A and B are shown apart, each in its own frame.
Chain A
Amino acid sequence: MARFPFSAIVAQDEMKQALLIAAVDPSIGGVMVFGDRGTGKSTAARALAALMPPIMAAEGCPYGGSKEDQARYPEVVGRGRMVSRPVPFVDMPLGATEDRVIGSLDLERALRSGEKAFEPGLLAKAHRGFLYIDEINLLEDHLVDLLLDVAASGENVVEREGLSVRHPARFVLIGSGNPEEGELRPQLLDRFGLSVEVRTPKDIEARIAIMKLVAENEADPEGFAARWAEEDEKILKRIARGKAKLAKLVPQEDVLRDAAELCLAVGADGLRGELTLMRAARALAGLEGARSVTRKHLVAIAPSALRHRLRRDVLDETGSTARITRAITELFG
């Protein structure tokens, strides 16, 4: 199926920015998208995965292992030579069983040849790519548990059905959901580096533009993709440039102080918020081709990096975004 070009997605700038930042620095750790259905969440995530340059992975390896993975997990990744393959994008359905997610004993082989083989699951497929979970807030508890464990450790450990397998599973987790249908566990929320809020565009012009683009794409997917190829290429270049610049962009003392003050002011507990804020600001500076990380970058990314980390005060109805904006105004004017 031809994918929708990333650059052809209308509006939803905050979401696009967050996805690009996650692409530049996957260590930031995933994007949570809050909002209604039909706002282009999965389209954008899918488009981004397709946009990314292919990765080099061991031939025939079900995990798409890299050279480093070959060294760390020789028994599962194998010694295959490096071949290019597209960045994986895995769409995990809500009703997925535990077996399907973590992998299970390959029964057919066990019965036929008495061979104890592991049949990799969705986590294996998502390694080095994107794992997209729509309505993640409705995911069953025990699935959330295992996701959290894997997201925190970067590897999937299976100890059941007589299997003992450890394989790499590092992915950019993209979750979406509408908080009105159920809240997310804070532990899971904390695993996401960035969170964004999306709404269907209310602007009538934007809605018309979207309908036109979708119609064009459906009528002639190849032609449509070709028309947007140049724009997509630009985005790809920005990501590549951002990645290349990351190491050189060392935030200065004043920006670090700003980050610490902001986190303190909004009541974002823990060091993780501060680190994420810093990393995201750095990735944004890289995307923009800036020479250094400045307060401007910090302020631009602060709502995304912090809004899901504020201390919960159930009786305070001020929205998280409003609290952050207020703190920014108070601190930095």
Chain B
Amino acid sequence: MNPPAPPADPLEDAVLAARLFTLAPRVFKGMVLRGSSPAREALVAALGQAIPLRRLPGHVDDERLLGGIDLAASLSAGKPVRQTGLIEEAQGGALIAGMAERMDAGIAGRLAQALDEGHTALVLLDDAVEPEDAPPHSLGERLAFLCDLSASRRWQGVALAPAGGALADVAALDEPQLRALAATAGALGVDSLRALILAGETARGLAALDGRTAAGKHDLTGAVRLVLAPRATRLPPEEAEAPPEDQPPPPPDGERDEQSDTDQQQQDPDLSELLVEAAKAAIPADLLASLAQGKAPRRSASSGTGQKRKAATRGKPLGARPGMPRAGAKLALIDSLRAAVPWQQVRRREAGADASSPILMRKEDLRIRRFEERAARVTIFAVDASGSAAAARLAEAKGAVELMLGQAYVTRSEVALVAFRGSGAELLLPPTRSLTRARRTLAELPGGGGTPLALGLNAAREVAEAVIARGRSAALVILTDGRANIAADGSPGRPQAAADAEAAAKAIAARGIDALVVDISARPGPEGAALAGALGGRFLALPRADARMLQAAIQAVQPPARAA
């Protein structure tokens, strides 16, 4: 049994998905189109021919999204005039949002609600390039189709052929078909019932496109390919591995009995196995790769990002709230006016002859602006550059710094590096987001000499404090074996050095700075763990770790940033 070959170009399935979507926008809710490519532009243009698409800019406000008071009309009418919102205006068509991976969670929430109530349908354009970046999960989960077009080689002659029939004319799926779909979803680790329901509707929709009145085997494999495969969270169990061509192995126990009893009209005795095979062939390559490595698929929540803070003066505008414009809070003029407008007639009556001013404002109308500013996380590496292991430790730390900076534009995080050796500590790389700069600064790192651990810790703490003073969060990653032999005053001697290091570590712990101690030496001793204990942080022994392992480990254990 050969799995059906995946289509030659990802655009083919995307066109199919788009035809389904336009067949019944309220049923399928919409699609996520990943990867900025000429193919996607062509597909969006074709979609626009089929149903009205209304663009949803990222900076839309609640007023325009949901409808609200029309300020200008209300002013001239002297009474509140309501205006419709985008969701309402896009009825019968769909809203299309570019850069969906950057969509504000608040907007996503409103849209999710509108989707659930059947008020809207969505096309999300996802331009994310890093696995940590994705459109809000609440939306992606609700939309039937996820198509990745970044690898498409086509862009010409894209058109959506009209459907041969209507979804309503297609019979509901029968018991064996439902069972097979559910089993396939289970095998792929697709837990959401929404996805399963959408897959069933997709099978019916595929029949409708062909003008048939019942869904067949082919429609089910299509549904699995379009809806379930892109949502896979694990590879199907090994038993379902593609068998030698002519000798299918017995399917998993239990399933066979149930299937053979109920599945009368199907030639193939095991429909679910067929579907699982179809799914395996259709799991997108990048998802397959990350599943094979045992990683969870991408989610939009990125833990490396600094916590969002509500700031008074800078950042992305967030809307307004009642309050007095003082202490750096700016007046939100439009919102203040909008709050005042509905009361104009009443106030004019109260004010009587005194009402010559065009608009009567009161203190309670005043609104102040809020902005969102991200508290960027700064990861400070403190690297023990002493002794014989210095070269290796420095090289891997440098690699990890570069890897972290390689993704810094996603997490908006910065990296700094302090090295300590001989009788001093040095800030080699001040906090930066620039890979280019890090590379230049870290090109030549000197190593060797004693281990002034206390000095290194103090230097790192100073950097961290400066970072926190600027309203960002700091995390320390200390690469050392913890065997201090230079005291805080620069004099040699193990006992004093260890005592000073412990004091320095406790100062860091007292400041509440996250710390991680990593020992990459071949035989980690107890000192590293002791240091981590004094720091109130974690300890990782990673013998012979390279830069990639190191970076992965750091990202895995770093708790979400906290704004200081």
B66 to chain A, nearest CB (A): 11
Q: Is the CB of B333 within 8 A of A114?
A: no
Q: Is the CB of A270 within 8 A of B408?
A: no
Residues on A with C-beta less than 8 A from B83 are: 162
A211 to chain B, nearest CB (A): 29
- In the bound complex, how far is the Cα of B154 from the Cα of A216, in angstroms? 53
Q: Is the CB of A107 within 8 A of B61?
A: no
Residues on B with C-beta less than 8 A from A184 are: 409
A145 touching B402 in the complex, CB below 8 Å, given contacts A102-B59, A159-B65, A271-B152: no
Residues on A with C-beta less than 8 A from B440 are: 180
Q: A223 on the interface (CB 8 Å rule)? A: no
B130 to chain A, nearest CB (A): 8
B395 to chain A, nearest CB (A): 11
A153 touching B55 in the complex, CB below 8 Å, given contacts A145-B99, A159-B86, A179-B436: yes
A53 to chain B, nearest CB (A): 29
Residues on B with C-beta less than 8 A from A253 are: none
- In the bound complex, how far is the Cα of B249 from the Cα of A293, in angstroms? 58
Q: A146 on the interface (CB 8 Å rule)? A: yes
**CB nearest neighbor in A for B408:** A183
Chain B residues touching A, range = 35 or more
In chain A, positions 24-38 with a C-beta closer than 8 Å to chain B are: none
Residues on A with C-beta less than 8 A from B72 are: 105, 110, 114-117, 162
**CB nearest neighbor in B for A115:** B72
Q: Specify which of A117, A161, A185, A315 is in contact with B403 (CB 8 Å cutoff).
A: A315
Interface centre among B58, B59, B99, B338 (most CB of A within 10 A): B59
B482 to chain A, nearest CB (A): 28
- In the bound complex, how far is the Cα of B148 from the Cα of A51, in angstroms? 42
Q: Is the CB of A142 within 8 A of B316?
A: yes
Q: B534 on the interface (CB 8 Å rule)? A: no
Q: Is the CB of A271 within 8 A of B412?
A: no
In chain B, positions 530-551 with a C-beta closer than 8 Å to chain A are: 547
Q: Is the CB of A146 within 8 A of B402?
A: no
In chain A, positions 131-190 with a C-beta closer than 8 Å to chain B are: 140-142, 145-146, 148-149, 152-153, 155, 157-164, 166, 179-187, 190
A170 to chain B, nearest CB (A): 14
Q: Is the CB of B36 within 8 A of A190?
A: yes
In chain A, positions 105-121 with a C-beta closer than 8 Å to chain B are: 105, 107, 110-117
Q: Is the CB of B38 within 8 A of A272?
A: yes
Q: B129 on the interface (CB 8 Å rule)? A: yes
- In the bound complex, how far is the Cα of B437 from the Cα of A331, in angstroms? 32
**CB nearest neighbor in A for B83:** A162
A314 touching B36 in the complex, CB below 8 Å, given contacts A146-B58, A159-B86: no
Chain B 10-37 interface mask (CB, 8 Å, partner A; 1/0) = 0000000000000000000000000111
Q: A275 on the interface (CB 8 Å rule)? A: yes
Q: Is the CB of A140 within 8 A of B315?
A: yes
Q: List 26 A-B contacts (CB under 8 A).
A: A116-B70, A116-B72, A141-B316, A142-B59, A146-B57, A157-B57, A159-B60, A160-B59, A161-B63, A162-B63, A162-B64, A162-B68, A162-B71, A162-B72, A180-B434, A182-B434, A186-B409, A187-B36, A269-B150, A270-B37, A270-B150, A312-B406, A314-B403, A314-B406, A314-B435, A315-B403
Interface residues of B (CB under 8 A from A): 35-39, 55-61, 63-65, 68-73, 75-77, 83, 86, 89, 98-99, 102, 127, 129, 150-153, 155, 315-317, 333-334, 337-338, 358-359, 399, 402-403, 405-406, 408-409, 412, 433-437, 439-440, 547
Give 4 closest A-B pairs by Cβ, nearest first: A114-B76, A116-B72, A314-B406, A159-B64
